[in-house]
Structure 1
Amino acid sequence: MDFKKVDQLKSRFVSRKVGNELVLVPLVSNVAHMDTLFNLNETAGFLWENLNENSSVEQLKDLLMENFEVDEETAEKDVKEFLEKIEKLEG
């Protein structure tokens, strides 16, 4: 993932916390497109909120391990899967 594009990507969504999930609503011409919502579980929502242009897989993995009861291998796998899904939102 090109982390330099993260701010651009994040600016195309409005996010709202609903329970333990974070809901992403895409903006089309600065208007919420309610037909397409993305529900992020607690872990993915945490990664989304901490994702920025200075992020790295290593940094996000460390944040997961510090904030959730997860081992290093699982944290790295979760971060990589999350980033793969986020890259698809760029399309």
Structure 2
Amino acid sequence: MIDPKALYQVDNDNFVARKMGNEMVMVPLADKVADMTGVLTLNEVGADILLAFEKPSTIENVIGKLMDIYDIDEETLSSDIRLFMEKAMKNNVIIKVG
């Protein structure tokens, strides 16, 4: 369950991310070595969500940032971000930091 008041951040110790055009490529690290079998590719929206969590942020702050970028209603955006976060947290891409 995602706590709307908690702080979340990308787990930079376990992933290296690079933006390539409109996509972002994420490579998991195992003992500080790239594990090419687990490469993740994010579309532009996924990349923007991930970039919004580069520093510790609440989900509400990220929703606010992305509302300024995308022409979408807040309810849909909130639902999409929560779904993204659930998957990202399951894969240890985003972690709770506070």
Q: Match for residue 96 of structure 2?
A: none
Residue 56 of structure 1: CA displacement? Answer: 1.1
Q: Match for residue 59 of structure 2?
A: 57
- Structure 1 position 26 matched with structure 2 position 21: no
The 4+ residue runs of structure 1 with deviation greater than 4 A are: none
Residue 10 of structure 1: CA displacement? Answer: 2.5
Residue 39 of structure 1: CA displacement? Answer: 0.9
Question: Gaps (5+ residues) in structure 1?
Answer: none
Residue 24 of structure 1: CA displacement? Answer: 0.5
Measured in 2, the distance between the counterparts of 1:10 and 1:77 equals 25
TM-score, normalization: structure 2?
Answer: 0.79
Which structure's residues are more often helix, by fraction? 1
Q: Match for residue 41 of structure 2?
A: 39
Measured in 1, the distance between the counterparts of 2:61 and 2:82 equals 12
Identity over aligned pairs, percent = 34
Which structure's residues are more often strand, by fraction? 2
Question: Gaps (5+ residues) in structure 2?
Answer: 94-98
TM-score, normalization: structure 1?
Answer: 0.84
Measured in 1, the distance between the counterparts of 2:59 and 2:18 equals 24
Which of 62, 80, 83 is the aligned partner of 1:81?
83
Matched residues, number:
88
Aligned-pair RMSD on alpha carbons?
Answer: 1.9
Q: Match for residue 48 of structure 1?
A: 50
- For the residue of structure 2 that corresponds to 1:24, the secondary structure is strand
